């Protein structure tokens, strides 16, 4: 028998999660991209929200609600999440999936270009304790700038797909989105306003704490 990968082994220890399975099935049924966050990182999102005691969470990129469920699960009684999603039908599916998971009252979806919504949130005076970035890679550096601007002191900024399935560390790949991710990762690692770690499992996850 072939040995399992480290990730397969770890996943084999956990029972299937009906609400997250429903999200994955609904994404397949709608022909949407099957790019939800890895289950291990989903569990990490729940833990990070819970441990940090975050009250205000911002998600950039909802897709079908997989990470949304993981984030919302970590929220306390008064915790709320705003989720930004470009595609209206994706936001509707995510909302339905959060409702089905009993988390519908925790989340508000805002549909449209994330950059305009981020500017609007800033103008509204919104501030967040936790930001999760998992959207179009070409805007990741802009999303990081806005996340820092919208962060309460000590806020966490978490971002998926640091490795872009290997493209990030392949010097022969020079597409614009890969260049942006490389710059994003450099910023996560070196920006004086942040303390951070980049986890290389699955597709790579950045976790940064805003110091100010
Ligand atoms: Mg992703």
> In 3D, which of 96, 85, 76, 164 has the Cα closest to residue 132?
85
Provide the β-strand partners of residue 23. Answer: none
Q: What is the pLDDT of residue 102?
A: 98
Domain that holds residue 130: 6-210
**CATH number for 82:** 3.40.50.150
The tally of domains found in the chain comes to: 1
156/28 Cα distance (integer angstroms): 31
- 129 is a domain residue: yes
> In 3D, which of 109, 106, 131, 162 has the Cα closest to residue 52?
131
**What's the gap in Å between 75 CA and the centre of ligand 1?**
21
Q: What is the pLDDT of residues 175-197, one digit of tens each?
A: 999 999 999 999 999 999 999 99
Q: What is the pLDDT of residues 11-36, one digit of tens each?
A: 999 999 999 999 999 999 999 999 99
**What's the gap in Å between 63 CA and the centre of ligand 1?**
9
**What's the gap in Å between 53 CA and the centre of ligand 1?**
24
**What's the gap in Å between 51 CA and the centre of ligand 1?**
23
- 184 is a domain residue: yes
- 11 is a domain residue: yes
Q: What is the pLDDT of residue 212?
A: 75
Q: Are strands 151-160 and 205-210 parallel, antiparallel or unpaired?
A: antiparallel
| Contact indicator for 20, 66 with CB cutoff of 8 Å | yes
**What's the gap in Å between 76 CA and the centre of ligand 1?**
25
Q: What is the pLDDT of residues 34-61, one digit of tens each?
A: 999 999 999 999 999 999 999 999 999 9
- 22 is a domain residue: yes
- 190 is a domain residue: yes
**What's the gap in Å between 36 CA and the centre of ligand 1?**
6
- 196 is a domain residue: yes
Chain CA centroid to CA 167, Å? 19
Q: What is the pLDDT of residues 94-146, one digit of tens each?
A: 999 999 999 999 999 999 999 999 999 999 999 999 999 999 999 999 999 99
- 1 is a domain residue: no
Burial 42-59 (b: 16+ CB within 10 A, else e): bbbbbebbeebebbbbbb
Does the pTM of the predicted model rise above 0.85? yes
């Amino acid at each position: 028998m072939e040995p399992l990968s480290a990730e397969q082994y770890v996943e084999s220890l956990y029972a299937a999660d009906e609400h997250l399975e429903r999200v994955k099935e609904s994404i397949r049924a709608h022909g949407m991209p099957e790019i939800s966050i890895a289950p291990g990182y989903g569990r990490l999102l729940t833990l990070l929200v819970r441990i940090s005691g975050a009250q205000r969470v911002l998600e950039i990129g909802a897709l079908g609600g997989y990470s949304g469920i993981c984030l919302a699960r970590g929220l306390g009684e008064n915790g709320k999440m705003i989720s930004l999603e470009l595609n209206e039908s994706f936001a509707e599916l995510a909302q339905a999936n959060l409702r089905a998971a009993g988390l519908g009252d925790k989340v508000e979806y805002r549909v449209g270009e994330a950059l305009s919504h981020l500017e609007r949130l800033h103008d509204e005076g919104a501030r967040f304790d936790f930001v999760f970035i998992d959207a179009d890679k070409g805007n990741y550096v802009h999303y990081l700038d806005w996340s820092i601007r919208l962060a309460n002191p000590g806020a966490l900024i978490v971002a998926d797909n640091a490795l872009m399935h290997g493209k990030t560390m392949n010097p022969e790949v020079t597409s614009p989105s890969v260049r942006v991710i490389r710059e994003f990762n450099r910023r996560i690692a070196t920006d004086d306003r942040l303390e951070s770690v980049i986890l290389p499992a699955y597709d790579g996850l950045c976790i940064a704490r805003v110091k100010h």
